[in-house]
Amino acid sequence: MALIPSRLMPGDTVGIAAPASSFDADLFHSGIEVLKSMGFQTLVPDDIFIKKGYLAGSDAGRARVLNRLFADPAVKAVMCARGGFGSMRILPMLDFEAIRKNPKFFIGFSDISALLWGIYRNCGLAVYHGPVITTLGDADQKTLESLSAILLSGCIPEIKPENGITLGSGTASGPVIGGNLTTLCHLTGTAFAPDFGEHILLLEDRGEAAYRIDRMLTQMKLAGCFERLAGLVLGSFEDCGIEDEIFRIVRNIFREKKLPILAGIDAGHGTPNITVPFGIRADLDADRQVLSFNEPFYPEC
């Protein structure tokens, strides 16, 4: 079982890290106001406003902020300012031992997927695929309600997409993990290479042509990333061309496996972008088109 962070209470402090790209100040401050409206205090380190090219400061500086927020007992959750690029550059600089000793909510998506995977893999800590600060200001109600419910109750509602599509019949059980396809693919061959054996994998992406999605999935398949995969769920593939073409590619990549595959989860670069726990066991029923989490880690859940 994964380490489960303690749920938040109104008035708790959410620390903000910028482990990847620099960000738009107006979008950032709009997102901070949304967090405050949920009843949280925020801790915004001055360091995150530093810009170094397309990054939010140096690699060492971005890693130092994230390590510091995890070590700070006053911080109960850590959210990321933005994705973009840069997360994988700081993976070797993270203090995984300190993170393991200070389990708390860690939330983000897109390029942050590298950190979600790295922290889960090295610390056994449940992490959360959900919005970043710069997307909160114009987030829809479903996105905000999902984030607030996860943080304040810790209870995970059943995920049943309104427009679910069954690409592969069957059921599966296992911890959910995954995130942005492009980011995870670029970890292949590194010390943080993904291995999703016995897991339910969630994938999403944005702005990638069908042939590039095919190429990335093929590379990961040849590298053994999908060996013993339990199941697959697809989030949004925004601006990636014709949806049916993406589905055809996915079916072809996994044609040799009797793998339950469910598409249409509201997670990723589309709207809504619900918060999905990673590292927590779930049941996937592709035929009923439902993903339900089955670890009652809080007594009232």
Catalytic residue list = 110, 204, 269
Give the span between the Cα atoms of 213 and 148, in whole angstroms: 32
For the chain, counts of helices (H) and of strands (E) = 9, 13
Q: Which long-range contacts (CB under 8 A, 24 or more apart) does 216-220 make?
A: 216/181, 216/182, 216/185, 217/181, 217/249, 217/250, 217/253, 218/253, 219/185, 219/188, 220/184, 220/185, 220/188, 220/194
CB 36 within 8 A of CB 137: no
Question: Is the alpha carbon torsion for 61, 66, 70, 72 positive or negative?
Answer: positive
> In the 8-state DSSP scheme, what is residue 21?
B
CB 142 within 8 A of CB 274: yes
CA atoms of 223 and 238, how far apart (whole Å): 26
Cα distance between residue 288 and residue 193, in whole Å? 32
Distances (CA, A) of 207 to 212, 254, 275: 10, 22, 21
Tokens representing residue 139 in the block: 């987030």
The continuous run of DSSP H or E covering 126 comes out as none
